[in-house]
Amino acid sequence: MGNEPFVGNGLVTSTNHSGNQSVRPRLLDEVRNAIRCLHYSIRTEQSYIDWIKRYIYFHQKQHPENLDESHISAFLTHLAVDRKVASSTQNQALCAIVFLYREVIGKELGNFDNLVRAKRPQKLPVVFTQEEVRQILLQLEGIYWLMGQLLYGAGLRVMECVRLRVKDIDFGYRQVLVRDGKGHKDRVTMLPEIIVGELQRHLQKIKKVHETDLKAGFGAVYLPYALERKYKNANRSWAWQYAFPATRRSIDPRSGEERRHHISESVPQRAIRQAIRKSSIAKSGSCHSLRHSFATHLLEAGYDIRTVQELLGHKDVSTTMIYTHVLNRGGKGVQSPGDMLFGSRSDGTFPPFSSNA
């Protein structure tokens, strides 16, 4: 794949209609440049590049300019039928290919009427009870406890938590400013009172690490968009540092600079899974289940759904409405006909089953 002239790194010489040669970036370099001009995240960049490569491979390394909607439908149908990918995976592949044609090649696409779409499962969110959340958080220590409290107590997504910067934690107003969250939206949520003291002590510890990095000639952190050029030396300031930095410095894949990035999202994900297992909770939960529980427990406490919507950062209130499925009682709040017939008894005394049954 890397030997193909339109997908490798560097430049390629082409001849235009007038017979003149011009030098243009290779295809994947053009894709990277377009993604970075639109300020997409490094994760999106890596994902899009991977899907575009797979799309080209699927069609025997033909240049995408020579392919049309039927080729795209064939690839996406292959993912759904042969690879049996999830609907979200198929949609991600489609977004990458649409980006390639619209932003790089400059070609509008059709509606893909013949596309076989992967079936989107209708799943309800996994929600823990308050006691289950308490048991999970009791299994956590140190930064894992802090992050668990932010996932549940502030309703953060796991990437919002690991990307949190020092300046976005407002101890005075007891709030957290979530910058550039899902959908590139900012929002404000609460800072749980229970973690204030421990979080302040944690920040003092990592401030010393930052000062050590500065003395060693490092200490610069990644800044989004053009802020690094606009605000000189801001990338070395304490305010812009990550609240949960990695234990080691690493090479930035875009700039090639050695920096201390934020902690990997896999770290809290692994810690939460282990905590759920240690708590002997018979639910298949995750970090996101704590966010689901945050929303559900606020609604159970009587808070307005619009308020919860804003705290979660949902664009549409219908997304927030899914959490009403566990309010007060399961089964949409409907009383079981079995309870109506015999009366609700939860103490196990009725009916008197025979021990030989």
Active site residue 248: no
Which of 157, 163, 260, 261 is an active site residue? Answer: 157
pLDDT of residue 119: 66
What's the whole-number mean pLDDT along residues 171-175?
Answer: 95
What's the whole-number mean pLDDT along residues 276-301?
Answer: 93
CB atoms within 10 A of CB 333: 11
Which of 71, 187, 288, 325 is an active site residue? Answer: 288
3-state secondary structure of 355: coil
Which amino acid is located at 104 in the chain? V
Instruction: Grade residue 54 by pLDDT with cuts at 50, 70 and 90.
Output: very high
Which of 163, 291, 292, 297 is an active site residue? Answer: 291
CA distance 138 to 212: 33
Active site residue 288: yes
CA distance 55 to 33: 19
User: E strands along the chain, which residues?
Assistant: 11-15, 21-25, 169-170, 175-178, 187-190, 250-251, 258-259
In DSSP terms, 259 is beta-bridged to 250
Note the CATH architecture for domain 11-105.
Orthogonal Bundle (1.10)
Active site residue 157: yes
CATH no. of 123-330: 1.10.443.10
Instruction: Grade residue 241 by pLDDT with cuts at 50, 70 and 90.
Output: very high
CB under 8 Å to 139, separation ≥6 — which residues? 274, 275, 278, 279
Which of 182, 249, 273, 325 is an active site residue? Answer: 182
Measured in degrees and rounded to the nearest 5, phi and psi for residue 176 equal -120, 130
Residue whose C-alpha is closest to residue 289's, from 318, 303, 269: 269
Active site residue 323: yes
3-state secondary structure of 54: helix
Pseudo-torsion of CA 25, 26, 30, 33, nearest 10°?
-70
Burial 233-261 (b: 16+ CB within 10 A, else e): ebbebeebbbbbbeeebeeeeeeeeebbb
Active site residue 325: no
Instruction: Grade residue 84 by pLDDT with cuts at 50, 70 and 90.
Output: confident
Active site residue 55: no
Instruction: Grade residue 135 by pLDDT with cuts at 50, 70 and 90.
Output: very high
3-state secondary structure of 127: coil
What residue spans define the domains of the chain?
A: 11-105, 123-330
CA neighbours closer than 13 Å in the CB half-sphere of residue 79? 23
In the predicted structure, residue 211 carries a pLDDT above the cut 90: yes
pLDDT of residue 231: 75
Mean pLDDT for all residues in the chain: 84
Whole-model pTM?
A: 0.76
CA distance 53 to 152: 38
